[in-house]
Structure 1
Amino acid sequence: MTRTAATRERHPVDSPVGAGRLIVLGLQHVLVMYTGCVTVPLVFGAAANLPTGTIALLISADLLIAGVITIIQSLGVGKVLGVRLPVVAGATFTAVSPMILIASQYGLQAVYGSMIAAGIFGLLVAVPFAKAIRFFPPLVSGVVITVVGLSLISVAAGLIAGQDSSAPDYAAPVNLALAAGIVVLIIVLNRWARGFIAQIAVLLGLIVGTVVAIPLGLVDFSSVGDAGWFGITAPLHFGAPHFPIAAVISMCVVMLVTFTESTADMLAVSQLTGKPLSNGDVARGLAGDGLSGILGGFMNAFVDTIFAQNVGLVEVTKVRSRYVTAAAGGFLVLLGLVPKLGEVVASLPGPVIGAAGLVMFGTVTAVGIRALRKVEFEGTGNLLIVAIAIGVGMLPVVAPEFYHRFPAWAQIIAGSAITSATLAAFVLNLLFNHTGKRGKS
């Protein structure tokens, strides 16, 4: 076969990208997910009363492991690791509350010991979990992806308006106007720009928004000067890991929740790119999540999942090459090793990041709705399944304290929009379509 013929038959997912475009498109992926990734160590560190210097090291470790897992997921490692799709991995919010509870009851050594145990558990159950993919038809995966997008819109709103509604500058008109301007710019570029400019519309929105924010006093680069040029925590920074059984079980539940989220995102990317997934592909992707638990436990980082906002970016840019997200992984590793660079990215204004996030999260929601178009609703109970699953999933989003009287382990499940929606859709699909007379799913 000639080189030209081989290139013509290569799937877009496996097609390389020129160096210049690779760098720019990879950086765009990093900027879209950066805030969500570093928020996890910030929230956990504050709740665990860690000093600022230690939190900074956790952020570096978090970015490093996220970069390593992203490269593995994008490029793969033999027949054992990596889904080989254009995906970006980052710290999952699912683990934050359990980690805080474990830290308060058993200490930080138990936090990272239980994470290592959960990572090993993840590697062991990746294959059997992946075999359940036939129970994730468009009916289930569409609901999950829709709820993922809807639940993350509140994150974008918090970045734009602020987190404290009682603060004097909450929802300041200048912040809302800046965010609106960025959204308009992204729309204009997607509507009228062509080629590479259209593909980097989100990146251009972030750059222009940051430039506009400087004279408005919304950009503060003072922390960049204080950050070091090199920094990473030593393995097992907090001491030898401990493995309390309750903590281990809790983190194993977190790993299963992470698997559920990653499975839905992998299916979404598969649909977006037109590259079908086998059970083996899904298993290798889930094994990547499990590996993140092991590496995170030893390197004082966090469990990673596939980030939905980057799934949305694949749809917006139409760039399907997995080498682009591998480049993003390389940038994350660099940011993890050079805190000063990380602080530059962290200094981007909340309204700017939030505006880009709003577009990405809305896109994820739209991808889920598009998946639901494949579902047969007439003469089936599928409409009821969608209605109940989305309703149950959105409860902890619109009422965060809804399950606060539940035990801690139950809050991990019921308090997660993604998990509760997935369980509802999964169980109802089995009830309506896999027991007795089956409808079409």
Structure 2
Amino acid sequence: MTTPQSVDTRLPLGQLALFGVQHVLIMYTGCVTVPLVFGAAAGLDRATIGLLISADLLVAGVITVVQSLGVGRVLGARLPIVCGATFVALTPMILIARQYGLPAVYGSMLIGGLVGLALAWPFAMIVRYFPPLVSGTVLTVVGVSLIGVAGGLIVGSDPKADSFGAPARLALAAVVLVIATVLTCLGRGVWSRLGVLIALIAGVALAIPMGLLHLDGVSAAAWFGLPRPFRFGAPQFPLAGVVAMSVVVAVVFAESTASLLAVSEITGKRLSRNDIARGLAGDGLSAVLAGVFGSFVDTVFNQNVGAVATTRVHSRYVTAVGGAILVALGLVPRLGAVVAAVPGPVVGGVGLVLFATITVVGVDTLRRADLTDRVNFTIAAVSIGVGLIPVLTKDMFTKFPSSAQILLNSGITLAAVTSFALNLVFNHTRVGAIARRDAIVRPTAAGDTPDAVTA
């Protein structure tokens, strides 16, 4: 039986290295997909995307080490967790970049991180206001809204280009999708867990004879180098961007809290409120470092949580070694340049798998909410609808001020605010009791919407 002390077990050096590498391989594709998607959507060149990847790996490594080992009484959950770039921040970052530019993206992220550091301890006290009803709704909207981004990478960014929507691009993405699906479903052990990464590598190999892989500029990238602070210029702080990134950090807090509690359950180490607060402060620090070095907000990677459960290796020193490996990879800009050369259809095919997975995770999370209750059912429905309307109805807010469009066009922000507010009103005030007073909810058949009858 696993004991609480198992997270503090120090394994032999060889095992530490082996399991640390495994953690990196499990999370690597998801981690680097974020800068690849953001860079393509923001219209950045491959050299710049390569720099984003290096910074992404470096910050993810630092935060993973911090979360695994801790820093005094202020940072780190001291659990076997691996952190990496979250997809939650993608849409707001893209919107801010298009409206204000990269200095505003990272200025907004920097302030959002500082807000997160300030709110880590208070948030740990009010985490009950972010139940599965809220987090599941937001994750569902995140996944659905990003599927369109994956589609854009597959067909291309320039509708006037001859290659836009070319059958070859669609075929390549389809092959990547098939490989990832087959390996994930039929593979055993490591083959299943690395199915997406293998599909990405296979897609790159297929892109070579198709003339879709362009490695020009890779040789110009240095073998070793540190990310330069504020590489994209002095940070800017548009109010709409700061608010959007602060909401992102709050959503990441809710997501990370659920993951921390899951790891606690797996390892048997009971978490105090301070443990959770230190873990959330690590997320806030990731946003601060991301704002300085041009990276991305980090969260606990659930696929690595699954690896901890599957392997039964609970030592936090294993994930600390994985973090050290990520730091080392982040110090090799040429590696980032190679990854940045991955063709759009390949990234889009992999992204389609990852983003759809986020959607299903959101739906699965909502299953833990009581959706047979008509109030909860309505909260989820309205929040998802509000979150998806700017995604499915383009340019509906064009007559609003440009600063307001950052918030209004972000379905993630709208879904988070709507679900949080409705849950607060109907599940934590007397309004909810009034709404449910005369309702008796009948069990429903699969696929039916719940209905209520008057008592």
Give the secondary structure class of the aligned counterpart of 1:348.
coil
Counterpart residue type for residue 261 of structure 1: V
* Contact 2:16/2:317 (8 A) holds in 1: no
CA contact (8 A) 2:240 2:404 kept: no
Q: 1:306 aligns with which of 299, 302, 305?
A: 299
Deviation of residue 262 (structure 1)? 0.7
Q: CA deviation at 1:186?
A: 2.4
Indicate how the Cα distance of structure 1 residues 111 and 136 shifts in structure 2: closer, same or farther if over 3 A, else same.
Answer: closer
Are 1:257 and 2:247 counterparts?
yes
User: Which of 392-401 and 315-324 deviates more?
Assistant: 315-324
Which position in structure 1 is the counterpart of 2:225? 231
Partner of 1:420: 414
The percent identity for this pair of structures is: 42
Stretches of structure 2 that go unaligned for 5 or more consecutive residues are 442-455
Cα deviation, 1:120-156, whole Å, max 9, x if unaligned, reads 3331122223322101122111111111211221222
- Note if 1:341 corresponds to 2:335: yes
Cα distance in 2, alignment partners of residues 374 and 339 from structure 1 = 43
SS in 1 for 2:217: helix
Report 1:82-101 matches (<5 A): 82-83=76-77, 84=79, 86-90=81-85, 92-93=89-90, 94-98=92-96
Q: Distance in 2 between matches of 1:176 and 1:323?
A: 43
Conserved 8 A contact 1:312-1:363: no
1:124 to 1:415, Cα distance in 2 relative to 1, 3 A:
same
Which TM-score applies when normalising by structure 1? 0.79
- Is 1:30 aligned to residue 20 of structure 2? no
Q: Is the aligned partner of 1:394 residue 2:388?
A: yes
Alpha-carbon separation, structure 1, partners of 2:9 and 2:195: 21
C-alpha distance in 1, partners of 2:366/2:385?
Answer: 16
Shift in alpha-carbon separation, 1:324–1:125, aligned structure 2, 3 A: same
Q: Deviations over 1:385-421 (max 9, x none)?
A: 1111001111222234222333344333322221110
Alpha-carbon RMSD? 3.9
Q: Summarize the Cα distance change of 1:270–1:341 in structure 2 as closer, same or farther, 3 Å threshold.
A: same
Post-superposition offset of 1:231 = 3.0
Displacement of 1:218 after TM fit?
Answer: 1.9
- Give the CA deviation at 1:251: 5.3
Matched residue pairs, number? Answer: 421
Distance 1:60 1:191 in 2: 31
Asked whether the equivalents of residues 30 and 331 of structure 1 are also in contact (C-alpha less than 8 Å), the reply is no
Matches within 5 A, 1:4-43: 10=6, 19-20=17-18, 22-40=20-38
Contact 1:37 1:63 in 2 (8 A): no
> Secondary structure of the residue that 2:429 maps to in structure 1?
coil
Does 1:269 find its partner at 2:259?
yes
* Counterpart pick for 1:185 among 151, 167, 179: 179
Deviation at 1:28, TM superposition (A): 4.1
- Aligned-partner Cα distance in 1 for 2:356–2:155: 17
Q: Which amino acid aligns with 1:31?
A: T
Out of 253-262 and 382-391, give the one that drifted further: 253-262
Q: Could you tell me whether the CA contact under 8 Å between 2:231 and 2:294 is conserved in 1? A: no
Any conservation in 1 of the 2:226–2:331 contact (CA below 8 Å)?
yes
Are 1:406 and 2:400 matched, yes or no?
A: yes
**8 Å CA contact retained: 1:148, 1:364:** yes
Change (3 A) 1:374 1:296: closer
Distance change in 2, residues 1:424/1:19 (3 Å): same
Amino acid at match of 1:269: S
Distance apart, 1:249 and its partner CA: 4.7
Contact 2:142 2:412 in 1 (8 A): yes
Between 1:62-71 and 1:324-333, the stretch displaced more is 324-333
Give, in whole Å, the separation in 2 of the partners of 1:13 and 1:370. 33
Between the aligned partners of 2:335 and 2:235, the Cα distance in structure 1 is 33
Structure 1: how far apart are the matches of 2:261 and 2:371? 20
Alpha-carbon distance in 2 for matches of 1:383, 1:41: 37
* C-alpha distance in 2 between matches for 1:6 and 1:381: 40
Q: Deviations over 1:236-264 (max 9, x none)?
A: 5678x688xxx375554244212233134
Amino acid corresponding to residue 62 of structure 2 in structure 1: V
TM norm structure 2: 0.77
1:171–1:100 Cα change, 3 Å: closer
| Contact in 2 for aligned 1:206/1:352 (Cα 8 Å) | yes
Matched, 1:383 2:373: no
Is the Cα contact below 8 Å between 1:127 and 1:280 reproduced in 2? yes
Q: Which residue matches 1:200? A: 194
Q: Judging changes above 3 Å, is the alpha-carbon distance between structure 1 residues 126 and 100 closer, same or farther for their aligned structure 2 residues?
A: farther
Segment drifting more, 329-338 vs 361-370 = 329-338
Amino acid at match of 2:177: V
Give yes or no for contact 1:139–1:375 (8 Å, CA) kept in 2.
yes
Q: Deviations over 1:313-353 (max 9, x none)?
A: 86699758677765664454334322111111222222222
Structure 1 residue runs of 5 or longer lacking an equivalent are none
What is aligned with 2:453? Answer: none
**Corresponding position: 1:172 with 2:162:** no
**Contact in 2 for aligned 1:390/1:421 (Cα 8 Å):** yes
Whole-Å Cα distance in 2 between the matches of residues 132 and 155 of structure 1?
Answer: 33
CA change 1:419–1:73 in 2 (3 A) is farther
Contact residue 135 and residue 251 of structure 2 kept, 8 A: no
